[in-house]
Structure 1
Amino acid sequence: MSALKTYKVLELAESVSGEYAGKLLADFGADLIKIERPGTGSPTRSLGPLLARDGAAPLECSGLFAYLNTNKYSVVLDLSTAQGQDRLAQLLRQVDVLIDDHAPGYLAGIGLDPQRLRESHPQLVVCSITPYGQNPPDERRHAEDLTVFHSSGWGFHTPSGASAQRRPLKGAGRFLPSYEAGLEAALCIAAALYEREDSRRGRFIDIAKQDVLASRVDYVLGQMVAGDMDVGTSRNAFDLFGPAGIFACRDGYAYIWMSAPAHWDALRKLLGNPDWMNEFPERWLERECTPPRVAQCRAQIAAWLKTRDKDVVAAEAQALGLILVPVNDAADLLRSPQYQFRGFFREVEHPVLGKALYPTVPYRLSETPAGIRRAAPLLGQHTEERLLSKGSTSHG
């Protein structure tokens, strides 16, 4: 049995953050009903990558929607009408969890004011995901992921050794803040459901993307809060000034990290004890990490790695205790022996998109595993079935 099989979820989400949170719960067995707009469905149905199929409805061709909505049931409701809101209220009486990722005030606008929900549905767990929480300044109510990424400090933080003279990075992919917030939301929902077993009370969970991403800035933010590092807007504050970085290999790129004498000794063995390393003090990474030494070290590492294949050199380095990893693309991940052994990619057949390999979750529970049991639903595929269902018990 999957871990969350006994729980029912109602998803109002229409963006990556809320849909990813719902997907994580559904993949662990939760019975999840996704509410979609008439005619257009969730906006993620129109986001790429799009796979053109002759005669296929355009709203069924999004690879992103297909990934984010496995194991869900699609119900179409017009929430701008009294009838739609009444039917939503009918569904709400049957579920344990409500997920929303619209701007603050949206729930109240469709008759689901969070305060009133606490009174009418005391055991309901309500999770709201927004860029800056429930009471942001007006100009931040509808912020995009790029804005959240930079306001959380990540544009200055990645990667180590980035030039202070160049523009901050936009970050990995299109939706990093949304995926992190969705993961946080799913974890909080699971914790709230667990706590409810004793308290018999629901919760209102307020997930702010900026807070989530700022919490991922590891040592830098922690040192600033503790007073061990000056708080400022200088991009250099996020750099350890060491030789870590991403370097070109013969067949791609590799990332290397060094911060201790043991790393320096491992690098020496990997490179075959070159003469240039003898010019450096033994503990220079800790005590004498000067810009000229960093530049010389990086230049030597770059020249050597250009002649090596990333997977081969990564295996050699890790065997010596040196933190060096390949920078993988999608094809590399599919070929990864570790991912293949873990069964991380599973084949799923979608009625329009056909068969494809889908990534699963990066953790395995032996007794209550996650799994993709059904492809993402067609728009409104389950409207009649779920609105007429009488078999569910109210948790309100």
Structure 2
Amino acid sequence: MRDQEPVPRDADRRLSTKEAAELLGVKPETVYAYVSRGQLSSRRVTGGRGSTFDAGEVEALARRNKRESAGSSGSGGELSVRTRITLIESDRYYFRGVNAVDLAARHTYEEVAEWLWTGRMRPGATFTAPADSVAVARRAVEALPEHAAPTDLLRVATIAAATADPLRFDLSEEAVLGTARTLIPTLVAALPPVRHDRRDEGPLAHRLWTRLSGQDADEASLRALDTALALLVDHDLAASTLAVRVAASARAHAYAAVSAGLGVIEGPLHGAASGLAHRLLLDVLDQGDAAPVIADELRAGRRIPGLGHRLYPGEDPRARALFTLLERIPRAEPALLAARDIVETTARHAPLHANVDLALAVLTTSCGMPSTAGETVFAVARTAGWIAHTLEEYGERPLRMRPSGLYAGPKPPQPLPE
């Protein structure tokens, strides 16, 4: 049988090279490239020069290639996931079609979270943590070393809270929403207080303040913190959110999905970026001039934190909204001037706008918070977004977040190692 002749689709379901190429939508040469990479197996035709291929393997590879093609954007081949939660375009971003900055300006963090989860607004929404969940989470957090990072505390608190919830494996929407409304306040309650008057009631931002700052909270500062939480609640498919959706795709419960997100945000390019901007601001405030500080950063080969964002060619709308609120806080003026100095100094060579990390750093430095405070704010805020994506992923086909590796190693079979 020659290579050009079709192979009957009998019980063995063998395809010729031509048929395999047509099914895959590639040239015959590419079919053999798949064989050399171990993605297809072939069988020589008895008495001929052609090869045949298992139809099931070819069809599976065709489906996989189609999924990878559908999951790639036209600019750079990045993974795309259909979502109804957040849209980012033209230097703006939207939660379920509504301008996110407007939502954060008019509603509390809890109300924005409810909108993200359900598409319905619940005026006056508050989150309450169960006493047993808080007790378990606090005991777990208190057992950690004093130098433990905020995300360490929050991850441990999340796992502890999960063990106290016998219904955590219920993945129904109602059950997951119940988890969301209790997990977030549990995380805040589990954090050690800076002030003696630990607050466990009232708006979440008020409770979080006592875990971040020893200063008295005026209304403008609390409003800025609450708005920061609402602005950071979600930002499309960031690295941590992708990790959450992968976990949810495998039908991990909501606590485990949140834990997956917390494991990703420690990187300096994600949740920890505001801490780097915080320390940069302190250096500028200490020296009174951004120029020598920026020069030292560049000399050390480090990028300047708090500037630019790959999704916003222009200004980060979250930074603009937060800076507007910070301008109403007198004690924030020195840090605001330092941030402006950083932007203007770097603009001589790289015209980058301030991003939300720099705005968050102004909030944390001017309110007597540690450099890790921004990471805490980010993690608490984003937990609501992770829950929204978890719920959305539960409605998709299980295990769909399973890409195929493009093997580039030695061609098998290789001999056993000595």
Structure with the bigger percentage of strand: 1
Instruction: Name the TM-score, length of structure 1 as normaliser.
Output: 0.28
Structure with the bigger percentage of helix: 2
Q: Which has the larger radius of gyration?
A: 2
Q: Whose RCO is larger (CA < 8 A, sep 6+)?
A: 1
Instruction: Name the TM-score, length of structure 2 as normaliser.
Output: 0.27
